[in-house]
């Protein structure tokens, strides 16, 4: 046996004798406020975490009303992951009700918040959510999603220091996927003719996406879905679609599709399909993960806006 092979054999014996990498007896219980944060947390936490979510697939976090069972689920969690930026107005009371002492990590911490309705088109209404509040949908830019993932990684390490190696490795791999996604989205957006880069979505959830990828979104409903579009909002949008020749109107999985259909009917703009802004789909839908959601959105946008 050569020297090198002897060394290899000795190393193999040592590896076999070494204890398995530390795995917790029980996975760390983490509660995410909504499906997109749950997906990030699973990507970083891997097998060391058991992730639960308060607002599930296809559900609207803006208007969520926690039930007593939700307080119980929060009480069981050792870490709570939230978006912040005013997205989960119901969260503080829920954590209090649950008597939870678990740390609450604000995943958006460090992103530059975008002001709601910064294009000024909601200047003439008294809507509670339309005036200078932070736009909470920061995850809609992949650069921000990377900030979320780093915050979640750091919070997991703090809650479960033995898992540091796993969390760092998982986060690194996922951040590389997000980089590739960001490049793909920019490439795809760049192939749309500039004068066609505008669409109608139901609620104003794509401001960060618009800033990152250069597609203009016009929405009859503000950054929260708590208030419905007024007749005046809809009339304004219809005028704008005709004037600016907006090619397509999109539905959302968390919003009533009738508004988008009505706008399409009245203007002749086509229905471009469904965009996913605030919630993933179930496993069988087109957006079961953040990566799939962002790819799906760009695919339907590209198809609808092609010449």
Question: Can you give the binding site for Zn ion, defined by CB under 5 A?
Answer: 205, 278
Instruction: In angstroms, give the least distance from the CB of 221 to Zn ion.
Output: 9
Of 205 and 298, nearer to Zn ion (C-beta) is 205
Burial class (CB in 10 A: 0-12, 13-18, 19+), 253: buried
Of 82 and 205, nearer to Zn ion (C-beta) is 205
Of 178 and 205, nearer to Zn ion (C-beta) is 205
The residues that bridge with 51 in the sheet, in sequence order, are: 30
Instruction: In angstroms, give the least distance from the CB of 237 to Zn ion.
Output: 17
Of 70 and 88, nearer to Zn ion (C-beta) is 88
Q: Which of 113, 98, 108, 129 is nearest to 223 (CA)?
A: 129
String of DSSP letters for 222-265 = -SSSSSPPPHHHHHHHHHHHHHHT--EEEEETTS-HHHHHHHHH
Of 45 and 222, nearer to Zn ion (C-beta) is 222
Instruction: In angstroms, give the least distance from the CB of 223 to Zn ion.
Output: 6
Instruction: In angstroms, give the least distance from the CB of 34 to Zn ion.
Output: 10
Of 78 and 122, nearer to Zn ion (C-beta) is 122
Instruction: In angstroms, give the least distance from the CB of 105 to Zn ion.
Output: 20
In three-state secondary structure terms, 161 is helix
Instruction: In angstroms, give the least distance from the CB of 100 to Zn ion.
Output: 25
Q: Determine contact, residues 133/86, Cβ cutoff 8 Å.
A: yes
Q: Determine contact, residues 94/67, Cβ cutoff 8 Å.
A: no
In three-state secondary structure terms, 79 is strand
Q: Which of 60, 91, 71, 90 is nearest to 280 (CA)?
A: 60
């Amino acid at each position: 046996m050569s020297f090198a092979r002897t060394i290899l054999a000795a190393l193999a014996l040592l590896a076999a004798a070494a204890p398995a990498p530390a795995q917790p007896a029980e996975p760390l219980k983490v509660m995410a406020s909504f499906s997109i944060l749950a997906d990030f947390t699973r990507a970083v936490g891997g097998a060391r975490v058991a992730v639960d979510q308060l607002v599930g697939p296809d559900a609207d976090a803006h208007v969520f009303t926690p039930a007593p069972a939700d307080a119980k689920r929060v009480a069981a969690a050792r870490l709570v992951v939230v978006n912040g930026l005013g997205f989960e107005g119901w969260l503080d009371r829920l954590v209090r009700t649950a008597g939870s002492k678990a740390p609450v990590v604000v995943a958006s911490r460090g992103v530059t918040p975008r002001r709601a309705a910064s294009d000024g088109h909601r200047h003439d209404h008294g809507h509670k959510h339309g005036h200078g509040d932070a736009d909470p949908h920061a995850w809609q830019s992949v650069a921000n999603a990377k900030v979320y993932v780093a915050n979640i990684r750091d919070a997991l390490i703090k809650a479960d220091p033995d898992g540091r190696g796993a969390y760092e490795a998982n986060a690194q791999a996922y951040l590389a996927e997000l980089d590739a996604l960001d490049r793909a989205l920019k490439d795809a957006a760049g192939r749309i003719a500039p004068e066609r880069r505008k669409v109608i979505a139901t609620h104003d959830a794509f401001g960060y996406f618009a800033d990152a990828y250069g597609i203009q979104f016009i929405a009859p409903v503000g950054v929260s879905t708590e208030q419905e579009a007024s007749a005046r909002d809809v009339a304004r949008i219809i005028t704008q679609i005709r004037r600016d020749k907006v090619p397509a109107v999109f539905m959302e999985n968390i919003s009533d599709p009738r508004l988008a259909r009505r706008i399409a009917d009245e203007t002749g703009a086509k229905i471009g399909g469904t965009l996913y802004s605030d919630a993933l789909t179930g496993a069988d839908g087109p957006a079961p993960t953040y990566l799939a959601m962002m790819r799906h959105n760009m695919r339907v946008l590209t198809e609808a806006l092609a010449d």
